[in-house]
């Protein structure tokens, strides 16, 4: 690849094969991608194509069979699990289809907790959490628990949580997939605004072609390869 290695996220010749009985399934067959800081890329492709596997590898949750993941200029393939965990906490943010908020904690506490785990003080974490919630229009709901929030509000809290530690890269897997069309449109608009304003490199998997068109570019995963969408 010709992209500069200092890209927020770079995947070089990623290969991942699963075995089903006697058959080898090449889910990723030399997939390659670079995303610069501040760039939002849509990841599309048919169900079962391997989008979630690609996101797991990019997020250092799985190791590829071959190839290299570069995160903020650093190769990650030979890192220990401890170091990979540290990089996930400091450099990566994740948003899933379901919000996975802790039900016993308020919205602001859900955004505070990952910061304190990463070593931030309670005061600094609180200020950062309230700032993010405010930017997502949720400051009046900061003390509400997830069960008191709508689906769209819960997912906006999850987005704030993903960005709480000021990651270099945001990975999202169908972040509006559980929402009705109206809520999905609003949440996605706020997600794009917040991501652009923070300058992270974002890779967002979606089945929604209208949402994909609103991103900077689209890549398609099919037959193990990534191509321009």
What is the DSSP track for 161-203? HHHTT--SEEEEESTTTTS-HHHHHHHHHHHHHHHHHHT-EEE
What are the distances in angstroms from CA 178 to CA 20, 61, 142, 169?
A: 30, 23, 22, 23
Confidence of residue 198 (pLDDT cuts 50, 70, 90): confident
pLDDT of residue 159: 92
Residue 103 has pLDDT above 60, yes or no: yes
Give the rounded distance of the alpha carbon of 188 from its chain centre: 13
Q: Structure pTM? A: 0.88
Confidence of residue 1 (pLDDT cuts 50, 70, 90): very low
pLDDT of residue 2: 41
Higher pLDDT, 27 or 127: 127
């Amino acid at each position: 690849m010709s992209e500069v290695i200092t890209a927020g996220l770079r995947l070089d010749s990623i290969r991942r094969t699963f075995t089903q009985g006697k058959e080898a399934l090449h889910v990723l067959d030399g997939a390659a991608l670079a995303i610069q800081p501040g760039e939002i890329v849509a990841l599309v492709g048919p169900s079962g194509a391997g989008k979630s596997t690609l996101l797991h590898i990019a997020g250092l949750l799985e190791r590829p069979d071959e190839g290299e993941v570069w995160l903020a200029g650093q190769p990650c393939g030979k890192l220990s699990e401890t170091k990979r965990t540290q990089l996930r906490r400091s450099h990566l943010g994740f948003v899933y289809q379901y919000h996975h908020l802790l039900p016993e904690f308020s919205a602001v506490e859900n955004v505070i907790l990952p910061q304190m785990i990463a070593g931030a003080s309670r005061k600094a974490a609180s200020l950062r959490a309230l700032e993010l919630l405010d930017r997502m229009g949720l400051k009046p709901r900061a003390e509400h628990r997830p069960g008191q929030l709508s689906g769209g509000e819960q997912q906006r809290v999850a987005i704030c949580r993903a960005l709480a530690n000021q990651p270099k890269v945001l990975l999202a897997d169908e972040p509006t997939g559980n929402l009705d069309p109206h809520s999905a449109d609003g949440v996605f608009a706020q997600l794009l605004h917040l991501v652009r304003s923070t300058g992270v490199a974002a890779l967002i998997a979606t089945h929604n072609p209208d949402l994909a068109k609103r991103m900077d570019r689209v890549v398609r995963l099919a037959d193990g390869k990534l191509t321009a969408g």
